[in-house]
Each structure stands twice: as structure tokens, then as C-alpha cells.
Homo-oligomer: A and B are copies of this chain.
Amino acid sequence: MRPDHVAPLPLGFERDGATEEVVEQERGVYGDLAGTLRELVDLTIRTEVDLEVVREVQRDLEVVADRLRPRVREGGYGVHVGADGRSRAWGNAVVGLRNAIAPPLDVRTDGVGRAWCEFSLGAAYEGPPALVHGGVAALVLDHVLGCAAGADGRPRMTGTLTMRYRRGTPLGTLSAEASIRSVEGRKAFVVGHLADASGPTVEAEGVFVLPRW
């Protein structure tokens, strides 16, 4: 092997060569910014201040937004790979540090075939009154089942996914977990569920497939 050998990256991954120090600075600043935006998203749904104040807030936000516009990358954030080889999916819709749409989930795995997380879903994730949107339950379960499927370090893509809604999932503190039932060739069969303090609310099973790249 040549001394300058660098392993090829999966499709769409990009090396930005960021040092650990730069990554930690960005983690702090962008984590705070996305956190403040999550509060603004929540307040925009729940505030009851006078409409004139809301209008002023909108104008002020427009001015602040302009300061982020001078340099904007094309397309999504994708996956960046730093100087130490570690990857950052900071734009991801479920776990992205820089994505205010993401709760964000902090999914743990056992390194073999199990994944789990605890999190809280507020007003922004509502479907029926006071309940989590059924599609948000699917969004979370797709991701957590995917993490279980890829817990061994080999990321797999969703092939099929089935949800069974047992009862409404209340907004608030929730948990999700998933584990691989079996593996056949490139396919992993995974089961899991979303739960509140009283137990499972939505059950899921899926087939996750190892990409050919």
C-alpha cells in the first residue's frame, strides 16, 4: 500500500480537512444557532403576543437572515469528513446538529445490531391535537431502525418499512429502540418501536439493504 493511500469515500461524502479544534468550534456555534432556531420554530406556533409584534419580529428576522446569505454552499450539507477521518452529517433531517428541523436525536448503538434513544417532541411535531404526527413517528422509526441496521459500521439503506400504530403518541418525552432480528446476504431484518412512559405506541419492522457502493 502506498504511504499516501486514502480510502475512497462513499458517494456524496466530502473531505473538508477540518481539524478537531475547528470541528469543536463549529459544533458549539452551529449547535447554539440551531437550538435558538428550534425555540423560534416552537414560539412561532405557540406565541399569543399581538399580531403587530409578530410582524415586527418577522421583519427583524429577515434582516438577520441576510447576514448568512453572502456565502452559501450549493445543495445540502451532505456528509463532511474531517482531518481525523470522522464524518459529520450535520444537515441530516433527524440527527443533524445544524438542522433545526431535527429534534435532534442522539442515537446510541451497541456496535453490533441494536440502537436506542430518548428525546422530546414539542409542538412542532404535532399531528392530531396533543399527539405526535403519525408521519413524525415514521420519520423517527426509519432513522432508529436504520441505525440498528448499521450498528456494525456498515450503513444500510431502507428497503421496506412497516409501522403499526397501536395508539396515539403524546407530545413530550419519548424513547425509541430497534434491533436486528436476522441478516440474509445484503439484507438486515430489523424491528423496533416508539414508546412513551406507558409503553410502546408505534411498532415498526423493516428490511435494510447494504448498498453496492
Chain A residues with a Cβ under 8 A of chain B: 11-13, 25-26, 29-30, 32-34, 36-37, 39-41, 43-49, 51, 53-58, 60-62, 64-65, 67-73, 75-79, 90-94, 96, 98-101, 122-130, 133-136, 138-143, 146, 157-165, 168, 171
Residue from B41, B56, B73, B158 in contact with A46 in the complex, judged by beta carbons closer than 8 Å: B73
Q: Please determine whether A61 and B58 come into contact, CB atoms closer than 8 angstroms.
A: no
Q: Please determine whether B39 and A65 come into contact, CB atoms closer than 8 angstroms.
A: yes
List 18 A–B pairs whose Cβ atoms lie within 8 Å, in order of A's numbering.
A26-B51, A33-B44, A33-B57, A36-B61, A37-B37, A37-B40, A43-B65, A45-B91, A46-B91, A47-B72, A49-B71, A91-B123, A101-B101, A133-B143, A138-B161, A157-B165, A161-B165, A162-B162
Copies of this polypeptide in the complex: 2
Collect the chain B residues with CB atoms within 8 Å of residue A160's CB.
162-165
Collect the chain B residues with CB atoms within 8 Å of residue A79's CB.
129
